[in-house]
Structure 1
Amino acid sequence: MYVFIFCKTVRELRVQPPIRFNRQRREVAMVPKKGAAPHYVPWEEVIACVSAGKLVTEYAVLPEFKLMIGLRDAASGNVLWLTVACGSLRAAVAEWEAIRAYMEEGPAALPAPPSEEFEEGTVAYFHMARLGYRENFPWLQYVFGFLFVQAFGGWTLPCHISNWVNNRPRALFPKAVQEWSRPLPADQHALPSEALLKESAEVREVFYRGKTLLDYFKVKFAEAA
């Protein structure tokens, strides 16, 4: 079962082209499936929301959050939903904020990528966690609480598998999307609408008052913290 899911996920990386955000055109390109004609969605018509639910396992009931990005096909009216699993409501909002900041303010607005040592799932992070466990817990607890458990979990094998998957060749964009992605002269760059500029100013005012995007949209989730 798990092998099937793993193989299916790896295959989707090769057959399902990712979406592409174009700052200069203020559009998003999507290709429903490999070989299909691309669709272009205006940036200000992109739908973003967060789904909240419960994940029931044999051990516990865990909160589950997903960032959902909706791209509406102007011809059919259908919405293609893309989901990004997140550990918390704030993490989902942060994922969207990174996309929004890139589109509205440019790459300079994004935080610097973290060192591998601080990126969960990497071999460097694994060994940093191991050393921290060894330094902060008694020897027996380190052996049976970390070494013993991680040995049964494959040690660093999951990290290497994750790195292998992340470096697999991705599906290529069609030529039409590659042409659409070419830089435009500065005088041809699309500009944000007045409505968006007004709302952005309102959000910044909320930030200046020490509040968050959740406060602006009056979101109240017990799990938000």
Structure 2
Amino acid sequence: MSIPLESAPRAGDSLMLNGRPVYFLAPLPVMSLPDDPLLPPELILQHDEVTLDLGQGKADRDLAFQTRFVIFILYLFGAIFIAAGMQEGELDSLAFMLTLALLSIVMLAALLGFGWQVIRRRRRPTIRFNRQRRELCYRDAVSGAPRFVPWESVVAYVHGGTALGATAIGRPIKMEDHSLRLAEYQAHDGLLHNFYQGEGYMVVNFSLENWEAIRRFMEEPKENWLRVDPLPDSQGFRRRRRELWQRFKSNPNKRWLHINLRDYSESWLTMGGYYLFHLLTWWQLPYSVSAWYLRLAVLSPWPDAVAEWSQPLPKSQWAQPSKQYLEARAAFLMTQQAV
């Protein structure tokens, strides 16, 4: 999507685009939040010492939950039809066939939904940031070729929109919606070319926190980076289960009926509930589905040029902040201290 602008955007500017408010955070990404964000940045897929991959937030992390929801629907409809067919004490063949047909329809719908999510996500490719080169890379929407953009020239802004919802009684309502967007401004045509749109939040500060997570990775030492939750996959599930079981075995003060939802290893009750829940939701299948989705739609291999660009550099070759950036950052920090 391209948006015409009368002049080049600057951090701190605000204007109306297509009738909706916009607040620019960059170019020159000097603006930062004084405190740690409230929520872990879900839009970050993974990062290491060199690169950070930016995804689509909850859309990339919800497949395990959605799979459990489908399993719950299978249980629910299966129980309803079996109970209806056994009203006279036995399950007749018609009720059995209807149960199988309905469960097959639910499974087919789930598979079609999974395929549609994969196709839709592949149209919104992952963005990669390289802190040593001070650049980011994204795939061009038309050609699919990688484009490399200097970090200090990236246009970041929060876009105010409208999200549709419904009340508990089904009455439609409209809510404010704020999303982080990334773009390139090209002076020769005066257009702002958007290449990334994050998920929307009703609270504008959550979008600012997402930007802060990216900025800290690119600008600050590792000890200031924000914690990123691991992606939900089968390997992570097995690791977390082993760690939980080891904590439970080594806990000398285990209780029988104590409930602590932050640490299941403190009692027999919560450990039993943990294992029962995962057995009823088919153990690691939801995480396997999530891993398939990530492999097919999210973590697809980068072209060779990007793989080479992502390799670590000797520290002597790291790109350095520009003089303009350093002056703007110093001025911003002085303003913050004055406040």
Deviations 1:107-160 (A, max 9, x none): 3321234599xxxxx9x9xx949x9xxxxxxxxxxxxxxxxxxxxxxx979xx4
Deviations 1:3-45 (A, max 9, x none): 8665333234456541211111111111125973211111111
Deviations 1:166-200 (A, max 9, x none): 64442210000011111112221111111211222
1:182 matched to 2:311? yes
Task: Give the deviation of 1:97 after TM superposition.
Answer: 0.8
- Which of 217, 221, 224 is residue 102 of structure 1 equivalent to? 217
SS at match of 1:57: strand
SS at match of 1:184: coil
Instruction: Name stretches of at least 5 consecutive residues in structure 2 with no aligned partner.
Output: 1-108, 168-172, 232-236, 242-259, 265-279
Q: Return the TM-score normalized by structure 2.
A: 0.43
Question: What is the correspondence of 1:145-156 to structure 2 with a 5 Å cutoff?
Answer: none
Paired residue for 2:325? 196
- Matched residue type, 1:11: I
1:17–1:173: 8 Å Cα contact kept in structure 2?
Answer: no
Q: Which has the higher contact order (CA 8 A, sep 6+)?
A: 2
Distance 1:54 1:34, change over 3 A: closer
SS at match of 1:85: coil
Question: What is the correspondence of 1:59-208 to structure 2 with a 5 Å cutoff?
Answer: 59=167, 60-71=173-184, 79-87=193-201, 88-113=203-228, 128=261, 160=286, 163-164=290-291, 167-169=294-296, 170-208=299-337
Deviations 1:28-80 (A, max 9, x none): 11112597321111111100000112213233322211100113579987723
What CA distance in whole angstroms lies between the structure 2 residues aligned with 1:63 and 1:19?
Answer: 26
2:118–2:293: 8 Å Cα contact kept in structure 1?
Answer: no
What CA distance in whole angstroms lies between the structure 1 residues aligned with 2:155 and 2:223?
Answer: 24
SS at match of 2:216: helix
SS at match of 2:162: strand
Distance 1:185 1:46, change over 3 A: same
2:181–2:194: 8 Å Cα contact kept in structure 1?
Answer: no
- Matched residue type, 1:107: K
- Which of 130, 136, 156 is residue 28 of structure 1 equivalent to? 136
2:179–2:200: 8 Å Cα contact kept in structure 1?
Answer: yes
Paired residue for 1:134? none
Paired residue for 1:39? 147
Instruction: Name stretches of at least 5 consecutive residues in structure 1 with no aligned partner.
Output: 117-121, 132-154, 212-225
- Matched residue type, 1:38: P
2:217–2:225: 8 Å Cα contact kept in structure 1?
Answer: yes
What CA distance in whole angstroms lies between the structure 2 residues aligned with 1:115 and 1:41?
Answer: 27
What CA distance in whole angstroms lies between the structure 2 residues aligned with 1:50 and 1:78?
Answer: 14
Q: Return the TM-score normalized by structure 1.
A: 0.62
2:132–2:312: 8 Å Cα contact kept in structure 1?
Answer: yes
- Matched residue type, 2:178: F
Q: Which has the larger radius of gyration?
A: 2
What CA distance in whole angstroms lies between the structure 1 residues aligned with 2:142 and 2:229?
Answer: 32
